[in-house]
Amino acid sequence: MYQLAAAANAEIEIKKSRFIGLLYPLTTRAEARATLLALRAQHPNAVHFCWVLICEGDSGLDDDGEPSGTAARPMYNVLVHKDVFNVLAVVVRYWGGTKLGAGGLARAYGQAISEAIKNAELMPVEAMCERRFVLQFADESTLRRLCEQYDVSVLDAQYGDAVTLRLKMKCSQADAFTLQAFDLLRGALQDRSDQALN
């Protein structure tokens, strides 16, 4: 899975219609709405602003008046095929006076995003996972310091007979983090990660 290092764009012309493919790295629908509003202001004479948002928990797509399935779906297919995530893809269309038909529209919108991806710098997305550990109060500060060293986020802390910390980390470092935590706390640590997922 990949995400954009920065915004990217490309423009194609088909039968005098201009299709401007734009890609933005973002993660929320609110950011997408703000970007679309800005684009509509920048391109007051454009006839369509078709878009696809793919991000964790908040995705969507819109043909913006084009025949259903001829704009956003082909754009979405390109993003999925290229495995791009945390992205807003927009194609701004200026009408050229010639109808392209459903097939022609689908090819044009897909091609505009394909060309924009060629101009984009893509970075691998690190898969994240959660772990849950139970430890003694006296060991909490030691584990929190280890979290800082590994850039691990403490999502939640619960206090009872012991401390339960719910942590978020890169999956690629989870095993090394857990081993070092056991070593630092001399084995006085319980990994309850499987129970946290149930």
CA-wise closest residue to 75 among 48, 53, 100, 101: 53
Q: State the pLDDT at residue 129.
A: 86
Q: pTM of the entire structure?
A: 0.70
pLDDT in tens, the chain (198 residues): 899 999 999 999 999 999 999 999 998 889 999 999 999 999 999 999 999 999 877 889 999 999 999 999 999 999 999 999 999 999 999 998 888 999 999 999 999 999 999 999 999 887 788 999 999 999 999 999 999 999 899 999 999 999 999 999 988 889 999 999 999 998 888 888 765 433
Q: State the pLDDT at residue 143.
A: 94
Q: State the pLDDT at residue 198.
A: 33
Q: State the pLDDT at residue 196.
A: 40
Q: State the pLDDT at residue 192.
A: 86
